[in-house]
Chain A
Amino acid sequence: GQQVMQIPQYQHVQEGEDFTTYCNSSTTLSNIQWYKQRPGGHPVFLIQLVKSGEVKKQKRLTFQFGEAKKNSSLHITATQTTDVGTYFCAGHGNKLVFGAGTILRVKS
């Protein structure tokens, strides 16, 4: 069945350092979504990528969708303490499947 792998599982960075999480799908996706879940909170939608090779930016966050529409990445430039949380990708093939998530910790 459709699977979405996400790495790394955890990432501890010093405030100001960059952070990247990667997702890889076993099947071609119609779109990929990214969500952020703060500790103790619920997932909140960040963005959706639809087009092959698409790149979108939200301030310090850069989202990419691979040419083959099977992988994606989220890059945060100059992390801040407010970036802490778990970042999930969710790939839409036949259904929406969530990756395992990457837990980001930021040391100030």
Chain B
Amino acid sequence: GAVVSQHPSWVICKSGTSVKIECRSLDFQATTMFWYRQFPKQSLMLMATSNEGSKATYEQGVEKDKFLINHASLTLSTLTVTSAHPEDSSFYICSARRLAGFTGELFFGEGSRLTVL
């Protein structure tokens, strides 16, 4: 089946630093990837839709200058949390669909747990 890989799986950083998280589709091309944020025992909150070769589409309330998304190739999207603060600590998960424009299943990465000290 389709596999989406996410790296790093966990990261601890100091307040004020930036952290980059990578999301790769390993066996398919993904023109669109999705970035979610999940707090403990809560649901998945869509942050943004990453589009290959164009700007990401951010959900309401998500700061695009805070959460930089780059989708440079058909298999890689990155999320950079800039000037991270403790309130940015969370579980970040990416996902992708195997077929562009298809409303089918999402394949999720393993997630990245960010802790900002």
Contacts and interface: CB of A to CB of B under 8 A. Distances in A.
B46 to A, nearest CB: 8
The SS class assigned to the A binding surface is: strand
Contacts of A96: 46, 103, 106
Given A42-B110, A42-B111, A88 B44 contact: yes
Given A42-B93, A42-B110, A43-B108, A30 B43 contact: no
Nearest to A9: B41
Interface in A68-108: 86, 88, 90, 92, 95-101, 103
Interface residues of B, number: 16
The 3 tightest CB contacts between A and B, nearest first, are: A45-B105, A42-B108, A100-B43
Given A98-B46, A101-B42, 19 more contacts: A30-B103, A33-B106, A35-B106, A35-B108, A41-B110, A42-B109, A43-B44, A43-B93, A43-B95, A43-B106, A43-B108, A44-B108, A45-B105, A48-B104, A90-B106, A92-B103, A96-B103, A96-B106, A100-B43
Interface of A: 30-31, 33, 35, 41-45, 48, 86, 88, 90, 92, 95-101, 103
